[in-house]
Each structure stands twice: as structure tokens, then as C-alpha cells.
Amino acid sequence: MNESHRGSPGLACSMLAAVALGTVIAGPAAASPAAGSPDQDYLVALDQGNLAELVAATRGEATHQGVCPDIPAMSPELFDDHSAAERDTTTVAASKVLVLPAAPGQSQIDQELATGTKTGTDFDHAWITMELGFHTDALAATQREIATGTDQAVVALAAKLEPVIRHHIEMVEAAAPNCSA
């Protein structure tokens, strides 16, 4: 993670507030583009997942709401990987003239907000659970895209991201015993 993102306890909360505010300002049309092909739907879901992960990784590192050292230790890698994935997603979407949402999905925002109200081991457990859920959902969608996608660029992106998502699941699962109450 870039040094500009480190050590700012209010950054995750500010990022989440900006994301939530963006959803309110942009309204349903920007947050939920008209359903297109399954390939486009995958790009939208991927984008929303990356945005949610950027907030979660920032909160995991910067806020120190929990007590488990594994969370701030893995958060910079999560941030960097999801930043790269977001750049790739945006590039592919732009080549398809697809406007991506400006915020995570409402369910992701709700999970982020619920996790953000916790501290100590409660935060650690909620964060680990949220991360496993986010990444498990992303892996299922990515595997589905690889198996059934029809747009070569989108399928190639999914294939590129699958091992990264698997690695993130392995990291979070390895930390779970240390970080769960």
C-alpha cells in the first residue's frame, strides 16, 4: 500500500462515507447499470467487489479497530491486488463502453458499515468473516465467467484474477484461527 494510505485512522471511514454518499448522489441508475450480457454483469460485480475490498483493506490496516496483527499485516497486499484488479476491470469495461458503478453494492456497504462499528476481537471476527464471504463470492463468479463467458477479454481477465482470489482466500483462512473470537 502506498505510504499516503497508511496511518490514517479516519481514512477507511471517510472512504466508506464517500462511497455511500456516492451511491446516494448517483442514485440507482449509476449504482445498478442496466443489465447487459453475463460478461457485463460480471464486470459490474467485479468492480463493486474491488471497491468494497479497497475500503475493507484500508480499514483493516489503518483503523486498528481489532487486536489481531494478521489483519493489518495482510491488508496492504489486499489493497494493492484489488487496486490492480480495479485498474484492469476499468480498462476492460472501457473497451466495452460499459459504465461501471461508483460504489460497492448495497449489501457490501451494509457489511462494511456493520463491521466498522465493532472493535477488538469482535472486529477481527467480523472482518475475517466479511473477507471470506467477499472472496468466496468473487471466486464463484470468476469461475462461472471462465466456464461460461463469451467475451474473450472478460474471460481472460477472470482467468488472470482467479489465482489472486484463491491466494486471498488462503491468506484469510490462514489468519482466521488467530483472528476469530
Q: How many CB atoms lie within 10 A of CB 169?
A: 17
Q: Mean pLDDT, to the nearest integer, of 97-103?
A: 92
Three-state SS at 68: coil
**Exposed, middle or buried, 58 (CB in 10 Å: 0-12/13-18/19+)?**
buried
Q: Interior CA angle at 112 toward 107 and 116, to 5°?
A: 150
For 66, 135, 138, the CA distances from 164, given in Å and listed in that order, are: 25, 10, 11
Q: Mean pLDDT, to the nearest integer, of 100-129?
A: 94
**Exposed, middle or buried, 28 (CB in 10 Å: 0-12/13-18/19+)?**
exposed
- Cα separation, 99 vs 30, whole angstroms: 8
Residue 9 has pLDDT above 70, yes or no: no
Q: What is the pLDDT of residues 121-161, one digit of tens each?
A: 999 999 999 999 999 999 999 999 999 999 999 999 999 99
pTM for this entry: 0.81
DSSP secondary structure letter of residue 69: T
Residue 21 has pLDDT above 60, yes or no: no
Q: Please indicate whether residue 48 or residue 9 has the higher confidence score (pLDDT).
A: 48
> How confident is residue 87, by pLDDT bands cut at 50, 70 and 90?
very high
Give me Rg for the CA atoms of the chain.
16
Amino acid sitting at position 45? A
> How confident is residue 181, by pLDDT bands cut at 50, 70 and 90?
low
C-alpha cell at 17: 462515507
Contacts of 136 (CB under 8 A, 6+ apart): 169
